[in-house]
């Protein structure tokens, strides 16, 4: 396969400089629509009406390529959005490795995946390689709750199985990922002047601290994790804080464990409220006591693909053609693939070589991108 490394590098760096934080993907979407329309007039470019649901300035894109061989179509997915800080990206290249200048992310998550798909399609066209039909799916708002995937109109796709290019590692296929529950709770106490009348207050932040001290966080077991990521509350240092908001998540590959750990979080918060009693000397009315408002929502379901599924067998076949070994693993994070699998689109995740994602130290190697491009071509032309 005559993959053009520098062409791959050029389109990747060009996309990295197009700002596309979650909810602002329109410029990158337009770049892709123009590119595919100009270079691949045979492709059908469609989009859904997902922006009304996601809040993005762009819809999801679905691009349909005709085939010249019989066979079931497959799809490939990448997301258009990036995490912050992503404004004013300067791409630094040292040899074959790309990074940012250090003030922003690079954007390889997931623009490296998009660049790989572009180069794969270009190579297939130039080499006139035969292939069945295939679809490309570009989603919005992946980084803020998989909103684009959740709102995707799957009737626009012909394929019912495929691959998401969205993981670290190379020559790697993710066949399982955990479910995640998001929780947030508000503890309401009582405000008072911290210097004049502290006896009239109930410190909501202190109550939240007692709750968090009892919570199991980090890696809970080999299948499960928990984290508290945001705490907001209080108005000024001279006011006893009346309320505090705590936000976090629980993930697990086991639905049973996810339910158990989620209940533990709820119980820990409720226990602090139930055990509360006024301090000696408190000047509170008989009915004044702290309150808890707890909410738990499912962010995404778990995914698990059987080792003998056709979407896995196709990778086995492609790897044999390329004379390489593919590692099969379970991931610790969620992606569009979780939602696609839930909605009947069997989806495995391909590692594309991203490193230190979601940080200003993010980088990716062109050699890994090329290697993944070879795998994508082999999958399309299987």
Asked if 142 is an active-site residue, the reply is: yes
Task: Sheet containing 224-233: give its strands across.
Answer: 218-221, 224-233, 243-252, 179-188, 291-300
- 65 CB contacts (<8 Å, ≥6 apart)? 40, 42, 43, 121, 133, 134, 135, 136
124 contacts 105 by C-beta, under 8 angstroms: no
Asked if 110 is an active-site residue, the reply is: no
State the helix-helix crossing angle for 310-322 and 366-380, rounded to 10 degrees.
Answer: 120
Q: Is 360 exposed, middle or buried (0-12, 13-18, 19+ CB in 10 A)?
A: middle
**125 in helix, strand or coil?**
helix
- 236 CB contacts (<8 Å, ≥6 apart)? none
19 contacts 87 by C-beta, under 8 angstroms: yes
Nearest to 208 by CA among 140, 293, 139, 307: 293
- In the set 24, 25, 48, 81, the catalytic residue is 81
322 contacts 378 by C-beta, under 8 angstroms: yes
- In the set 142, 166, 242, 336, the catalytic residue is 142
- 296 CB contacts (<8 Å, ≥6 apart)? 181, 182, 183, 262, 265, 266
Residues annotated as part of the active site: 81, 142
């Amino acid at each position: 396969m005559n993959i053009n490394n520098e062409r791959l590098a050029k389109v990747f760096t060009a996309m990295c400089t197009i700002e596309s934080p979650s909810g602002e993907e329109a410029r990158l979407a337009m770049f892709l629509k123009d590119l595919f329309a100009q270079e691949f007039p045979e492709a059908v470019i469609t989009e859904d009406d997902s922006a009304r649901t996601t809040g993005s300035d762009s819809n999801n894109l679905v691009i349909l390529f005709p085939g010249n061989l019989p066979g079931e179509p497959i799809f490939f997915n990448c997301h258009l959005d990036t995490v912050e800080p992503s404004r004013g990206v300067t791409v630094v290249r040292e040899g074959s490795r790309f990074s940012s200048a250090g003030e922003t992310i690079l954007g390889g998550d997931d623009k490296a995946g998009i660049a790989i798909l572009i180069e794969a399609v270009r190579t297939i066209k130039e080499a006139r390689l035969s292939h069945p039909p295939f679809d490309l799916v570009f989603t919005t708002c992946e980084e803020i709750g998989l909103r684009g995937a959740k709102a995707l109109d799957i009737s626009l796709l012909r394929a019912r199985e495929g691959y998401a290019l969205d993981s670290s590692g190379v020559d790697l296929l993710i066949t399982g990922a955990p479910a995640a529950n998001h929780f947030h709770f508000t503890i309401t106490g009582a405000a008072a002047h911290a210097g004049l009348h502290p006896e009239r207050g109930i410190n909501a932040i202190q109550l939240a601290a007692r709750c968090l001290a009892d919570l199991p966080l980090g890696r809970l077991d080999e299948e499960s994790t928990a984290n508290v990521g945001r705490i907001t509350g209080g108005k000024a240092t001279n006011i006893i804080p009346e309320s505090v908001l705590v936000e976090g998540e629980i993930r697990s590959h086991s639905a049973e464990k996810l339910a158990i750990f989620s209940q533990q979080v709820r119980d820990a918060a409720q226990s602090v409220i139930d055990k509360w009693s006024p301090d000696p000397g408190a000047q509170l009315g008989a009915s004044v006591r702290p309150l808890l408002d707890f909410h738990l929502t499912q962010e995404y379901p778990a995914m698990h693909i059987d080792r003998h599924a056709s979407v896995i067998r196709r990778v086995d076949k492609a790897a044999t053609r390329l004379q390489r070994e593919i590692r099969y693993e379970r991931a610790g994070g969620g992606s569009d693939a979780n939602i696609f699998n839930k909605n009947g689109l069997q989806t495995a995740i391909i590692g594309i070589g991203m490193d230190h994602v979601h940080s200003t130290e993010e980088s990716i190697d062109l050699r890994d991108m090329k290697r993944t491009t070879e795998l994508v071509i082999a999958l399309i032309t299987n």
